[in-house]
Amino acid sequence: MNTLLQATRATGAYVLLAAIGGLVLPAGCPLLFPTDNANQNANANANDNGAANENENANDNGAIGDSGLTGKYIGAETCSLCHRTTHRNWSETLHARALDTLEEIGQGENEACLPCHTVGFGESGGFVDRATTNALAGVGCESCHGPGKDHVDNIEDASLRPVVDISADVCGRCHTGEHHPNFEDWQESGHAGVNEHVADGLADGSRVNACGQCHSGTAQYYISILNEPIEDNFLEGTPVEDLLGIQCANCHDPHMRTGNAPEAEDGRDYQLRWPEVAEPFPTNTVDAATDPTRFNICGQCHHSRGRDWTSTSRGPHHSVQSNVYIGEMPVGE
């Protein structure tokens, strides 16, 4: 069951795109492997020119235009009028050029591929072709957040703002199937659910701050990503079966290339977030840890949390993979 996470800030609604795991090619599409990005691992935030992602590809007759953009979809360029930084960062991702990748292999009109490589293909007001709806080429904001026309036409109406849904189900609409079974792999992982020993404490409002940062996708989103303190009763009353485990977007930044690659010259960052916790214990303070030899994104949760072997009879918190991997275990002073 999808759980919709509604979040607004003073500047408006936060929106989260689906997480990157590689472009999916459903049955009927030839396999295409992504190449290294062209920015040599540079963080997309460094791009200050504010320019939109201008697509140079055209259909067979060379025409590019938006005369058919008259329906419920408005295109990412319109979103950029208010969400400029997010749009600029998104324009550097593989989502932004998803249709390009099809055209480069001669599959730009393959109807088996277009639903996941354009916005709204097959729907009223959705992508038709480059000549009439070029603004809907690629995986844009509305691919994950839904049509934006009502919101743009009624900007002050909070009820029409895009709903923030960090559920992996959003990503799973396309990141699935025989070519890139990212969603299926996630479903089989421990991340997909909430540990039964923790779930009751999240639902009854007693353990959100103690456990939520690593066991609740919703709590982690607020504490680590938005850096907003939350109360222990934040999830109180939520049915256990509706609690979100760790979702794609908790570890992958859906809006931008991050530069968090194994080597400095390696552009394949898969949009992995940088860790928000540098210390070997939980903290709500954002302190970006950019040392890849340290905990990095997995070690943000998969470490001992600071309790040493001599403090109690129970020993450190389990899941000490990162500590073991880098040869580091905390000891009592």
Neighbours of 202 (CB within 10 A): 27
Lowest mean pLDDT among 171-180, 242-251, 324-333: 324-333
Q: What's the pLDDT tens digit per position in 40-89?
A: 333 333 333 333 444 444 444 457 889 989 999 999 999 999 999 999 99
Residue 244 confidence (pLDDT) above 90: yes
Q: Tell me if residue 9 falls in helix, strand or coil.
A: strand
Domain-wise residue ranges, the chain = 14-160+251-270, 275-333
CA angle (253 as vertex; 248, 258 as ends), nearest 5: 135
Confirm if 110 and 29 have CB atoms less than 8 A apart. yes
Q: What's the pLDDT tens digit per position in 151-160?
A: 999 999 999 9
Six-digit token string for 47: 């791009």
228 against 303, higher pLDDT: 228
- pLDDT of the residue at 301: 84
How far apart are alpha carbons 280 and 212 in whole angstroms?
Answer: 16
Q: What's the pLDDT tens digit per position in 169-197?
A: 999 999 999 888 999 999 999 999 999 88
Q: Where do we find the tokens 């709806």?
A: 133
Residue 291 pLDDT grade (very low, low, confident, very high; cuts 50, 70, 90): low
**Number of C-alpha atoms within 13 angstroms, CB side, residue 129?**
11
- pLDDT of the residue at 45: 33
Q: Where do we find the tokens 């009751």?
A: 200
Phi and psi at 277, nearest 5°, equal -120, 115
Give the chain's mean pLDDT: 77
Check residue 286 and report its DSSP letter: -
Check residue 92 and report its DSSP letter: T
5 against 275, higher pLDDT: 275
Q: Tell me if residue 85 falls in helix, strand or coil.
A: helix
Supply the pTM of this predicted model: 0.74
Confirm if 87 and 79 have CB atoms less than 8 A apart. yes
> What does the H/E/C string look like for the chain?
CCCCCCCEECCEECCCCCCCCCCCCCCCCCCCCCCCCCCCCCCHHHCCCCCCCCCCCCCCCCCCCCCCCCCCCCCHHHHCCCCHHHHHHHCCCCCCCHHHHHHCCCCCCCCCCHHHHECCCCCCCCCCCHHHHHHHECCCHHHHHCCCHHHHHCCCCHHHCCCCCCCHHHHHCCCCCCCCCHHHHHHCCHHHCCCHHHHHHHHCCCCHHHHHHHHCHHHHHHHHHCCCCCCHHHHCCCCHHHCCCCCHHHHECCCCCCCCCCCCCCCCCCCECCCCCCCCCCCCCCCCCCCCCCCHHHHCCCCCCCCCCCCCCCCCCCCCHHHHHCCCCCCCC
CA angle (175 as vertex; 145, 248 as ends), nearest 5: 70
How far apart are alpha carbons 283 and 286 in whole angstroms?
Answer: 8
